[in-house]
Amino acid sequence: MKFDKAAGPNPTDAKKIIGQPHDRLDGPLKVAGRARYAYEFHDEAPNAAYGFILGAGIAKGRITALDVAAAEKAPGVLLVMTHENAPKQRFKPGESSPQLHNPEIYHYDQAIAFVVAETFEQARAAARLIRVDYSREVGSYDLDKARATATVPTHYNGDNSDTAVGDLDAALASAPVTLEVEYRTPSQSHAMMEPHATMALWEGDRLTVYTAHQMLHWAKRDIANTLGIPQSRVRVVSNYVGGGFGSKLVGYGDLTLSALAARQLGRPVKVALTRAQIFNHTSQRSATIQRIRLGAGRDGRLTAIAHEDWSGNLPPERAGNTGAPSENACFQTRLLYAGANRMTATRQARLDLAPGYAMRAPGEAVGLLALENAMDEMAEKLGLDPVEFRILNDIQHDPEVGPERPFSNRRLVECLRLGAERFGWNRRNPKPGQMRDGDWLIGYGVASAIRDNLVTASHARVRLLPGGRLRVESAMTDIGTGSYTIMGQTAAEMLGLPLSAVEVRLGDTNFPEAAGSGGSWGANSATSGVYAACMALRAKLAARAGVNAEGVSFADGHLVSDGRRVPLADLAQDQEIQAEAGIEFGDLTKTFAQASFGAHFCEVGVDRYTAEVRVRRMLTVASCGRILNPKTARSQCLGGMTMGIGAALMEELVVDKRLGFFVNHDLAEYHVPVHADIPDLDVIFLEGDEDANSSPLKARGVGELGICGVGAAVTNAIYNATGVRVRDYPVTLDKLLEGMPIPTI
């Protein structure tokens, strides 16, 4: 069905189950250890062999010699695959993931050999016996040096890399108050809990892969393209995914090599990347350099906004199926604030590092680290409160298009005002370094949040089973976000059933193609697919009951029409009744600018002697349309806030600029927040926030909004506490200490 924004009320508006804080349906399975992840399908392949990937020891060059004789003779070894004997594969940038297809080395830890043995330990030990000679080439590993050669990106998913409105140069020249600043953000790792893993199983000419992936139809397309077989002969299963954050949107060595080896050996092969391999073998969030220029009148109204972004990546033909997009850090600046004269520009340099790809809130997460700091710096120049400065420059339509493209729903001002009230913003001293608690310098910071509301086609199948239970089937994934639960809630609401009467099955391409988990489109799109399927089932049930579908309702396990109540169990007494349908959104995003909005408020303490930073409390107020499940949505925001704190204070992939790899490739040295780093965080969702222009569920994306702007709220609070403005993330002790006044003892 096509979503009609003017369709009016629908069955989900009852909100008996939708919008309520239900526990996760998959929770008991996970707590009991019965939710099976990609590496755990033991019953399906009890005789699976184990694979181990050997990665390149250089960052750029080619293999000149390989000696695998010792590895092939090692105990338990079944196969040693290299570029010399790997089956032929196909390559299509962005839609395939060939491995071992030539001797060229494009980045450090790229797969150069795959060893399969009876046990994991045997495969790993044999891989270490392989001897490799390389011819090294000079690579590019330093974004600062490569910046001068950066060009307009060739891969942009249909978005323009540059935009311009008005006369920016003239507006900046005439503005009474201007700001020009540059910010840097480092490469970051997704660092999800579950490693990338795949088990491949062939049955004749049909392939099944049990894999950790966020978008099953992408995985199916990619492996079919790579192997040169029809997609109809590929099944992808990913029932549970232990986090992804974008890294599992594409396939890496585990997916392709397990399938190739399983076909060659005639038995299942499974492989999981080690934690160290994840950092250089898979993808990362690319480092950025961002230049922001602002111009404003004395009244605080912005007249000029310019945001330029430089990042680096492999070219598409070298990056496998990541397609090598840039980190589009200036895109949110096109929508967030008013200003008649505007410019954004994105440039990409070649870097011979692991491919850069989407990481939670690609673009906004790092773009707002710069923009929202610049807004605070500008507010200080103007002598305005940072909250009021943002409110003053709010706009209710796309500022690059005009009033003909209004926002479907924009309540940023309410987020800022409610957040300021609940947080106690009026207690903030605008002069840095004035608030203290013993030896701790106290600071308050604020930042706006925005994340594009993306929607995509999604399908589902629903079955009313004998006995009156309802089953939902969809190729949608659950990466820890609550997909099982909200899709079950949608079906229960639509058919008038308790949630306990609904069974949800996800993560299998034998089910209808779904939105998948990425871009914050998953919940809104996938539940809309369930809505469409349930509407089709309601029509079938009405026909079976002999009533007009237009006037029918469903409640308490009954079909209700003109006072007549028919138990659903009676309608499916003889055989199950099923329906399959999907949702299409058409040109909705052309009609409306769509985004979720929020405001983050943060209090930090900075030790006046050591410059140790502690986040003491944080509040996020969010406008995300209808909240389908307050409990799971809150959890998503808390996770995003935690990642935002990490980005501000600790997360950085350190590049060895001589040898071209990320040095800190483990969780001992790539620091992420732990419990001791995170205080009690609070989240408020605006009430009455339903967005009828977004979807039948009237929701918008939640999963990535929580990280957008958080880091800037933290660093703005650090400035308020210390008077030190750090523009090079993360804000570590050394960067603060050099600017802090020496305390008197």
Residue-wise pLDDT tens digits, 661-681: 999 999 999 999 999 999 989
The Cα–Cα gap between 261 and 279 comes to 24
Residue 212: partners with Cβ closer than 8 Å, 6 or more residues away: 37, 38, 194, 195, 196, 197, 198, 238, 241, 242, 244, 248
The Cα–Cα gap between 476 and 480 comes to 12
Residue type at 586? Answer: G
Angle at the Cα of 620 (from 616 to 622), degrees rounded to 5? 175
Query: Which pLDDT belongs to residue 315?
Result: 84
In terms of domains, do 545 and 483 share one? yes
Domain range enclosing 694 = 385-454+590-737
In a domain, 88, yes or no: no
In a domain, 259, yes or no: no
In a domain, 324, yes or no: no
In a domain, 391, yes or no: yes
User: In DSSP terms, which residues pair with 236 in a beta bridge?
Assistant: 209
Residue 336: partners with Cβ closer than 8 Å, 6 or more residues away: 371, 448, 450
In terms of domains, do 728 and 672 share one? yes
In terms of domains, do 551 and 621 share one? no
Query: Which pLDDT belongs to residue 92?
Result: 85
Query: Which pLDDT belongs to residue 8?
Result: 77
Residue after which a domain boundary falls, among 529, 550, 584? 584
| DSSP code string of 574-598 | SS-EEEEEEEB-TTHHHHSB-EEEE
In terms of domains, do 397 and 433 share one? yes
User: What contacts 24+ positions apart, CB below 8 Å, involve 264-267?
Assistant: 264/79, 264/81, 264/87, 265/49, 265/78, 265/79, 265/116, 266/202, 267/45, 267/47, 267/48, 267/49
In terms of domains, do 559 and 631 share one? no
In a domain, 472, yes or no: yes
In a domain, 389, yes or no: yes
Strand (E) positions, 176-247? 177-185, 197-203, 206-211, 234-237
Query: Which pLDDT belongs to residue 364?
Result: 97
In a domain, 531, yes or no: yes
| DSSP code string of 674-725 | -GGG---EEEEEPTT---TTT-TT-B---TTGGGTTHHHHHHHHHHHHHS--
Catalytic residue numbers read: 704
In terms of domains, do 618 and 664 share one? yes
In terms of domains, do 579 and 707 share one? no
In terms of domains, do 667 and 530 share one? no
Domain tally, the chain: 2
In terms of domains, do 603 and 706 share one? yes
CATH for 535: 3.30.365.10
User: In DSSP terms, which residues pair with 566 in a beta bridge?
Assistant: 559
pTM exceeding the 0.85 threshold for the entire prediction: yes
Residue after which a domain boundary falls, among 549, 584, 619? 584
- Residue numbers in the chain where pLDDT is lower than 70: 6, 155-159, 319-324, 744-745
Query: Which pLDDT belongs to residue 323?
Result: 65
The Cα–Cα gap between 500 and 468 comes to 12
In terms of domains, do 401 and 534 share one? no
In terms of domains, do 537 and 647 share one? no
Helix, strand or coil, per DSSP, at residue 99: coil
In terms of domains, do 713 and 610 share one? yes
Angle at the Cα of 220 (from 218 to 221), degrees rounded to 5? 65
In a domain, 155, yes or no: no
Query: Which pLDDT belongs to residue 586?
Result: 85
Residue after which a domain boundary falls, among 557, 584, 611? 584
Residue type at 595? Answer: A
